[in-house]
Amino acid sequence: MKINIEKIRIDGDTQSRVKIHDNIVQEYTENLLNKVVMPPVKIFFDGLDNWLGDGFHRYHAHRRAKLTEVDCDISKGTKRDAKIYSWSANSNHGLRRSNEDLRKIVIEILEDVEFSDKSNREIARMCKCSDMTVGRVRKELALAKEMGKKSKKVQQVAPDPVYEEPLEDETFNEKLEELVVENSALMQENVRLRDAIAVGSLDLPEEEIADVQETIKSLRLDLAKCESDLQAMTLSRNDYQKKSADAIQQVQYWKRRAEKAEKSKK
């Protein structure tokens, strides 16, 4: 069934990909101009609006080719039905989903109120990927959440700030801070490049290389969590040592006061 392209809505966040690939849109546009018959796009009609669930590249190709009608496969359903359908779209046809696309889909499901409690295997069936992929993303989100909590704790146990007179050359301090930030970014990029070179030297199929990349990414997150824990423990220790030193000084002060009081009585 063909419907007017202006009646199709794509503004309901029903696109499951990270981005639209312009080269694919151009390829499909040329096919349409050459009278090549394209598969119909998937539409969900809620009685008022037509929500696009699958076929975003074909949709944009029709617009670029100045075509006013699109061949559609229409089902009764809501915007949410279109969203859920999009999670498994292109699993076995069309432009293959990238690792970034799959990660985006899995995150959306894990953060969905209705499906967040589903098992890795059930979610994998929903978006037609491996349960290992779901497990990696779930662990990644849990680690990121834990690191966020740890960061707040680190701020809470940090010693009270001590006021210091500003240095005369404030420009020097600002430049130094910029260099510290830039150096940290360069170190992270260096680690990323070393990982990429190491993975690139492996003689493995593409799917196994993708698994290796995800595993390395997960291990890097584990390492970052350990470093965050260490930082929190170090700050807690420093705070304890400071309070302990303050307590000792107070005890010594009152001891001296007591000794003076005893001498004055004599």
Of 124, 127, 150, 147, nearest to 135 by C-alpha is 124
What's the confidence (pLDDT) of residue 179? 66
Please identify every stretch of the chain with a pLDDT value under 70, giving residue numbers as ranges. 149-186, 189-190, 193, 199-209, 266
Element (H, E) at 214: helix 206-265
pLDDT tens string 208-229: 667 777 777 777 777 777 777 7
Q: Return the CATH number of the domain spanning residue range 2-96.
A: 3.90.1530.10
pLDDT tens string 116-160: 899 999 999 999 998 899 999 999 888 888 777 665 655 555 555
Residue 5 amino acid letter: I
Residue 8 has what DSSP assignment? E
188 neighbors 220 (Cβ within 8 angstroms): no
14 neighbors 86 (Cβ within 8 angstroms): yes
Tokens of 233: 């423990």
Q: SS3 of 64, please?
A: helix
What's the confidence (pLDDT) of residue 121? 94
What is the residue extent of each domain of the chain? 2-96, 170-265
What's the confidence (pLDDT) of residue 165? 47
What's the confidence (pLDDT) of residue 148? 72
Residue 172 amino acid letter: F
Question: pTM for the whole thing?
Answer: 0.56
Residue 43 has what DSSP assignment? E
What's the confidence (pLDDT) of residue 202? 64
CA distances for 217 relative to 74, 139, 146, 187, angstroms:
40, 11, 16, 16
